[in-house]
A = this chain, B = another copy of it.
Amino acid sequence: MTKSLASQHCRPLPEGTPALDAVHVAGLLDQLAVGWSLASDHTRLSKVFRFPDFHRTMAFVNALAWIAHVEDHHPDVEFGYNYCRVHWSTHTVNGLSLNDFICAAKVDGLGA
């Protein structure tokens, strides 16, 4: 049985690790909740979350920061009064790695 993405943890990537190819990316994207989208060049995995007020937005931002801290993998984030847009990518591979999908699954696990 395949271990769910959300139950895995990010691992350091050995130097020279390539970015995931399109087939792997498509397979992993299927394992995430709806709403995640890929940049056209497959270098970034993004999702926007919407909230009824600023306090819930900030609570989400901080939960997201906790995931980033635990996994030592840090997203780029945009937020305002009632939204938070999360972007995962892996700079060292110039694209997407399994770590991005693990973190995306953990963000889905927040239940926002």
In the complex, the chain B residue whose C-beta lies closest to that of A78 is B78
Check A54–B69 contact: CB distance below 8 A: yes
Report the minimum CB–CB distance from A89 to chain B (whole Å): 10
**Which of B61, B76, B81 interacts with A61 by CB under 8 Å?**
B61
Q: Spell out A's residues near B (CB within 8 Å).
A: 54-55, 58, 61-62, 65, 68-69, 74-81
B contact residues around A69 at 8 Å (CB): 54-55
Residues of B within 8 A of A81 (CB): 74
Closest B residue to A85 by CB, please name it: B78
Distance, CA A75 to CA B81, complexed state (A): 7
Contact partners of A74 in chain B: CB under 8 A? 54, 80-81
> Which of B55, B68, B78 makes the CB contact (< 8 A) with A76?
B78
Which residues of the partner chain B approach A79 to less than 8 Å between Cβ atoms? 76-77
Residues of B within 8 A of A58 (CB): 62, 65
Q: How far is the CB of A47 from chain B (nearest CB, A)?
A: 16
